[in-house]
Structure 1
Amino acid sequence: MIENQTVTRAPAATACAATKYKILVAEPLGQEGLELLRRYAQVDVRLKLSAADLAACLPAYHALIVRSGTQVNQTLLDAGKNLVVIGRAGVGVDNIDVDAATHQGIVVVNAPTTNIVAAAEHTIAMLWALARKIPQADASVRRGEWKREQFVGVELVGKRLGLLGLGRVGGEVARRANGLGMQTVAFDPYVSLERAAQMQVKLLSFDETLATSDFISLHTPATAETKKFIGAAELTKFKRGAFLANAARGVLLDENALLDALDAGQLAGAALDVFENEPPQNERLLRHPAVVLTPHIGGSTTEAATRVSLQIAEQVLDALHGRPARFAVNTPPSASALAPALQSYLGLAELLGRFYTKWVGGPLGDLEVEYAGKLAAEETGGLTAALIKGLLEPIVETRVNLVNAQWVAQMHGIHLAERKTPHAARYENLIALRGERVVCGTLLLDEPHIVQLDGNWVDFVPRGYVMLTRHRDRPGMIGKVGALLGAADVNIASMQVARERPRGEAIMVLNLDDPVPDAVMETLRREFDMQWSQTLTL
Structure 2
Amino acid sequence: MRVLITEPLSEPGLQVLREAADVDVRTGLSPEELMSAIGAYDALVVRSATQVTASLLEAGCRLRVVGRAGTGVDNIDVDAATRRGIVVVNAPAGNSNAVAEHTIALMLALARRIYPAVSSFKAGRWEKRTLQGFEIKDKTLGLVGLGRIGMLVASKSRGLEMRVIAHDPYVSPERAASSGVELASLEEVLSAADFVSVHTPLSPATRGMIGARELALLKPTAYLLNCARGGIVDEEALREALERGVLAGAALDVFEQEPATDNPLIGLPNVIATPHLGASTAEAQEHVALDVARSVVDVLAGRIPEGPVNLPYVPPKAVEFLQPYIDLATRLGSFFVQWRGGLLGRLELVYEGEICEYDTRVLTSAFLAGLLAPVSAGPVNLVNASQYADERGLVVSEARLGRGTRYGSLITARFAGTSEPMDISGALIQGEPHLVGLDGQRLDCVVQGCMLVDLHHDRPGIVGRMGQILGQADINIGFVQMSRVTRGGASIMILGLDECVPADLMPRFLEVPNVQRVRMVTLPPYNGHEDDAA
TM-score range, shorter chain: 0.5 to 0.7
Alignment match, 2:12: 32
The answer to whether the aligner puts 1:294 opposite 2:274 as a matched pair is yes
Say if 1:311 and 1:138 are closer, same or farther in 2 by CA, change over 3 A: same
What per-residue deviation string (whole Å, max 9, x for no partner) do you get for residues 393-431 of structure 1? xxxxxxxx978xxxxxxxxxxxxx97459xxxxx98xxx
Give yes or no for the alignment of 1:328 onto 2:287: no
Structure 1 residues 46 and 178: alpha-carbon distance in aligned structure 2, compared to 1, 3 A threshold: same
- Name the CA distance, whole Å, in 2 between partners of 1:342 and 1:270: 60
> Do residues 159 (structure 1) and 139 (structure 2) align?
yes
Q: Which amino acid aligns with 1:220?
A: T
Listed as ranges, the matches of 1:133-532 within 5 Å are 133-280=113-260, 284-330=264-310, 337=330, 339=333, 375=348, 377=350, 384=361, 419=400
CA distance in 2, matches of 1:342, 1:171: 46
Aligned-pair CA distance for 1:148: 2.1
Normalised by the length of structure 2, the TM-score is: 0.57
Counterparts of 1:247 and 1:198 in 2: how far apart (Å)? 24
Q: Give 1:173 shift.
A: 0.5
In 2, distance between residues paired with 1:47 and 1:64?
12
Q: 1:255: Cα distance to partner? A: 2.4
In the alignment, residue 140 of structure 2 is paired with which amino acid? R
> Is contact 1:109–1:312 with CA below 8 Å preserved after alignment?
yes
TM-superposed CA distance for 1:56, in Å, is: 5.1
Quickly say closer, same or farther: Cα 1:42–1:280, change in 2 above 3 A. closer
User: 1:112/1:341 Cα in 2 relative to 1: closer, same or farther (>3 Å)?
Assistant: farther
- Deviation at residue 329 of structure 1 after TM alignment: 3.1
Aligned residues between the structures: 349
After superposing the two structures, state which structure 1 stretch, 231-240 or 26-35, moved more: 231-240
Q: State the AA in 2 paired with 1:155.
A: E
State, as a whole percentage, how many aligned pairs show the same letter: 49
Shift of 1:153: 0.5
What secondary structure does 2:146 align onto?
coil
Cα 1:183/1:284, change in 2 over 3 Å: same
Rounded to whole Å, the distance in 2 between the matches of 1:299 and 1:326 is 20
Matching of residue 44 in structure 1 with residue 27 in structure 2: no
Please give the secondary structure, in 1, of the residue aligned with 2:63.
Answer: coil
**Of 71, 93, 101, the match for 2:73:** 93
Evaluate the alpha carbon distance shift between residue 51 and residue 190 of structure 1 in structure 2; reply closer, same or farther with a 3 A threshold: closer
Largest Rg, 1 or 2: 2
Q: Report the Cα distance in structure 2 between the residues aligned to 1:112 and 1:243, rounded to whole angstroms.
A: 26
Native 8 Å contact 2:64 2:87 kept in 1: yes
- 3-state SS of paired residue (1:158): coil
Aligned-residue Cα RMSD (Å) equals 3.8
Q: Give the Cα–Cα distance (whole angstroms) in 2 for the partners of residues 29 and 116 of structure 1.
A: 17
Residue 122 of structure 1 is matched in structure 2 by 102
SS of the residue corresponding to residue 125 of structure 1 reads helix
Alignment check: 8 A CA contact 2:350 2:400 kept: no
Find the residue that maps to 1:148 and give its secondary structure: coil
Could you give the per-residue CA deviations for residues 281-313 of structure 1, whole angstroms, max 9, x where no partner exists? 775422210011112221221111111111111
What is the SS of the residue equivalent to 1:221?
coil
Measured at CA, do residues 387 and 221 of structure 1 come closer, stay the same or move farther in structure 2, by a change above 3 Å?
farther
Where 2:18 maps in the other structure, the secondary structure is: helix
How far apart, in 2, do the equivalents of 1:387 and 1:242 lie?
A: 49
* Partner residue, 2:41: 61
- SS of equivalent to 1:161: strand
Partner of 1:455: none
Q: 1:376 to 1:233 in 2, by over 3 A?
A: same
Deviation by residue 1:173-204 (Cα, 9 ceiling, x = unmatched) = 01101111112222223322221221011223
* Alpha-carbon spacing, 1:142–1:386, altered in 2? closer, same or farther (3 Å): farther
Distance 1:90 1:177 in 2: 24
Mark the runs of 5 or more structure 1 residues left unpaired by the alignment.
1-20, 344-372, 389-400, 404-416, 422-426, 429-538
Cα gap change, 1:135 to 1:387, in 2 (>3 Å): farther
2: CA distance, partners of 1:52 / 1:258: 35
Whichever residue aligns with residue 211 of structure 2, its letter is G
Q: CA distance change for structure 1 residues 225 and 51 in 2, over 3 Å: closer, same or farther?
A: closer
Conserved 8 A contact 1:122-1:298? yes
Post-superposition CA distance 1:480-509 (Å, at most 9, x none) = xxxxxxxxxxxxxxxxxxxxxxxxxxxxxx
Paired residue secondary structure (1:217): strand
Helix, strand or coil for the counterpart of 1:270?
A: strand
Alignment TM-score, normalising by the size of structure 1: 0.57
Asked whether the equivalents of residues 166 and 186 of structure 1 are also in contact (C-alpha less than 8 Å), the reply is yes
- In 2: Cα distance, 1:173 partner to 1:262 partner: 24
- Partners of 1:131 and 1:221 in 2: how far apart? 26
Q: Unmatched 5+ residue regions in structure 2?
A: 313-325, 338-345, 366-380, 384-397, 403-415, 418-534
Q: Write the letter of the residue equivalent to 2:143.
A: L
Amino acid at match of 2:293: A
Offset of residue 314 of structure 1: 0.8
Letter in structure 2 aligned against 1:375: E
| Letter of the 1:87 counterpart | G
Cα distance per residue 1:71-129 (max 9 Å; x no partner): 34456445544333232222233444444444444333222221111111111011011
Superposed CA deviations along residues 248-290 of structure 1, whole A, max 9, x for unmatched, are 2332222233233333333111111122333347754222100
Contact kept in structure 2, 1:382 and 1:402, CA below 8 Å: no
The verdict on how the C-alpha distance between 1:377 and 1:236 changes in structure 2, with shifts beyond 3 A counting, is closer
- Structure 2: distance between partners of 1:188 and 1:78: 36
Distance 1:81 1:124, change over 3 A: same
